[in-house]
């Protein structure tokens, strides 16, 4: 019977959905985790490759040569790589290099566009340094790079999203699987996922669900209009602010608006009562445990609010701000609870544990250490 249970477990975790992730199947020690996933999230980088690499190194994402180490399964970067510094080309190329190396080792890099990436495709170049334009050669070649024909526009189109739903429990499938309130996944597991976006998913945002496919589709539709705008708008300044294209829809305007996911600061700036009173509504709808975002910096530390339901990871990493170097690390495990083994059904309970830490240059701070029994998720395997 025990053998059967291990086998059922093995079958579950070798489904194609989970197959993309590095995983450990342990048969001999009942107290050892049967599934391990390590995630690192990094906030706004603003044109500073050196500090970006320091952060990736101290959180174990890369080795001392700057290559993907394989110690971490998933890196999420929540946008604002561009502006305020000179390393635009180096940073976006580096992210693509890591993405390739990660994929070759069974890991993944999930990239999110921030409001500054969008400003640049719109033609709002207020935070572009003239020294940075020189790295592209000229204004014209920078504009070309930012179009659908250019390398930067192409990688944003292919490798970046507006928002990401990252499942923790392997039963929830690969990254960006939609949350469906009607699915048969047991309620103890259905929200075992993290949500990442640059600014914030406000309670009033009307294109929220199904999450994340709907907001990502609205973003793609707008991005397509911007990348293919011909001729490219002349950059502002010195030219007037070009704004969104004339054929942008109402939904697309809302997406790029002050309360849209790119610019919203409510989760960071609202009072404890406002924020903690509304966060569950959003988490319920999107099938996630936590909203993780950058955009609103606190220059001293990563901020966890409402028992970790909201985590803000922008600490002003770039030398343009001189804040602290930081990364968020999530260590997720599933461990069988052998005392719950049921001979009749050949199943047992698992203990899901999530340790969320803020990693700084000289210290690690555990923000949360949560354990939950996971029940019923083996249904359908008997
Ligand atoms: C997307 O990232 C991959 C690395 O995984 C890179 O090889 C590719 O060039 C990028 N796509 C585009 C269109 O730049
Ligand atoms: C394992 O299950 C037993 C029985 O339900 C429970 O009393 C115990 O607390 C569980 N162990 C852990 C570590 O959760």
Count: domains in the chain = 1
For CA atoms 142, 148, 152, 157, the dihedral sign is positive
| Cα–Cα distance measured from residue 226 to residue 120, given in angstroms and rounded to the nearest whole number | 10
Q: Smallest Cα–Cα separation from 356: which of 300, 314, 307?
A: 307
Report if residue 195 sits inside a domain: yes
Report if residue 21 sits inside a domain: no
Tell me, what CATH number does 210's domain have?
A: 3.60.21.10
pLDDT, tens digit, for every residue of 358-375? 999 999 999 999 999 987
Question: What tokens were used for 190?
Answer: 């259905």
Report if residue 346 sits inside a domain: yes
Nearest-atom number in ligand 1 for the CA of 159 is 1
Residue 128 is classified by DSSP as: -
Cα(49) to ligand 1 centroid in Å equals: 19
Report if residue 382 sits inside a domain: no
Mean pLDDT calculated for residue range 279-300 = 97
Question: What tokens were used for 57?
Answer: 């190194």
pLDDT, tens digit, for every residue of 52-101? 999 999 999 999 999 999 999 999 999 999 999 999 999 999 999 999 99
Which of 149, 159, 160 for mutating ligand 1's site (highest number of atoms within 8 Å of CB)?
Answer: 159
What is the value of pTM for the model shown?
0.90
pLDDT at residue 340 in the model: 82
| Cα–Cα distance measured from residue 83 to residue 127, given in angstroms and rounded to the nearest whole number | 5
Cα(112) to ligand 1 centroid in Å equals: 14
| Residues pairing with 372 in the sheet | 352
Residue 171 is classified by DSSP as: G
Classified as helix, coil or strand, 68 is strand
Report if residue 137 sits inside a domain: yes
Classified as helix, coil or strand, 348 is strand
Instruction: Write out the H or E segment, with its range, that includes residue 342.
Output: strand 326-342
pLDDT at residue 245 in the model: 95
Domain that holds residue 80: 35-377
Mean pLDDT calculated for residue range 175-200 = 93
Mean pLDDT calculated for residue range 212-241 = 95
Report if residue 3 sits inside a domain: no
C-alpha dist (Å) from residue 356 to 40, 96, 275, 285, 336: 10, 26, 20, 23, 21
Which residues approach ligand 1 with their CB closer than 6 A? 96, 99-100, 103, 151, 154-155, 158-159
Which ligand is closest to the CA of 110, given by its number? 1
- Sheet containing 290-293: give its strands across: 163-167, 193-197, 290-293, 310-312, 303-305
Report if residue 96 sits inside a domain: yes
Contact 329, 315 (CB under 8 A): no
pLDDT at residue 29 in the model: 59
Burial class from Cβ neighbours inside 10 Å (0-12, 13-18, 19+) for residue 272 reads exposed
| Cα–Cα distance measured from residue 301 to residue 38, given in angstroms and rounded to the nearest whole number | 21
Report if residue 25 sits inside a domain: no
Residue where the block lists tokens 């007037």: 240
Label residue 2 by pLDDT band (50, 70, 90). very low
pLDDT at residue 185 in the model: 85
CB neighbour list of residue 276: distance below 8 Å, 6 or more residues apart: 305, 306, 309
Nearest-atom number in ligand 2 for the CA of 335 is 13
Residue nearest to atom 10 of ligand 2 (CA): 337
Nearest-atom number in ligand 2 for the CA of 337 is 1
């Amino acid at each position: 019977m025990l053998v059967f249970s291990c086998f059922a477990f093995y079958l579950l975790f070798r489904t194609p959905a989970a197959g993309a992730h590095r995983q450990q199947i342990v048969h001999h020690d009942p107290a050892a985790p049967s599934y391990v996933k390590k995630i690192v999230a990094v906030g706004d980088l603003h044109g500073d490759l050196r500090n970006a690499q320091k952060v990736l190194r101290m959180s174990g994402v890369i080795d001392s040569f700057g290559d993907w180490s394989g110690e971490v399964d998933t890196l999420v970067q929540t946008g604002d790589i561009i502006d305020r510094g000179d390393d635009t080309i180096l940073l976006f190329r580096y992210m693509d290099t890591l993405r390739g190396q990660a994929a070759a080792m069974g890991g993944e890099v999930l990239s999110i566009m921030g409001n500054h990436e969008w400003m640049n495709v719109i033609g709002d170049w207020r935070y572009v340094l003239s020294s940075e334009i020189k790295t592209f050669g000229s204004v014209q070649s920078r504009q070309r790079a930012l179009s659908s024909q250019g390398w930067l526009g192409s990688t944003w189109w292919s490798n970046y999203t507006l928002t990401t739903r990252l499942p923790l429990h392997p039963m929830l499938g690969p990254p960006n699987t939609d949350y469906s309130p009607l699915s048969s996944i047991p309620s103890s597991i259905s929200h075992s996922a993290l949500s990442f976006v640059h600014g914030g998913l406000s309670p009033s945002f009307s294109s929220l669900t199904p999450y994340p496919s709907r907001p990502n589709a609205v973003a793609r539709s707008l991005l397509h209009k911007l990348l293919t705008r011909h001729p490219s708008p002349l950059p502002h300044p010195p030219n007037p602010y070009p704004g969104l294209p004339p054929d942008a829809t109402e939904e697309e305007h809302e997406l790029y608006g002050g309360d849209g996911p790119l610019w919203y600061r409510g989760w960071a700036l609202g009072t404890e009562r406002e924020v903690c009173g509304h966060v569950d509504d959003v988490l319920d709808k999107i099938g996630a445990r936590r909203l993780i975002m950058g955009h609103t910096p606190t220059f001293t530390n990563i901020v966890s609010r409402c028992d970790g339901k909201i985590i803000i990871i922008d600490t002003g990493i770039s030398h343009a701000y001189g804040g602290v170097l930081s990364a968020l690390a999530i260590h997720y495990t599933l461990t069988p609870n052998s005392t719950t083994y049921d001979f009749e059904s050949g199943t047992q309970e698992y203990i899901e544990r999530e340790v969320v830490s803020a990693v700084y240059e000289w210290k690690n701070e555990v923000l949360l250490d949560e354990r939950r029994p996971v029940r019923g998720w083996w249904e359908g395997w008997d």
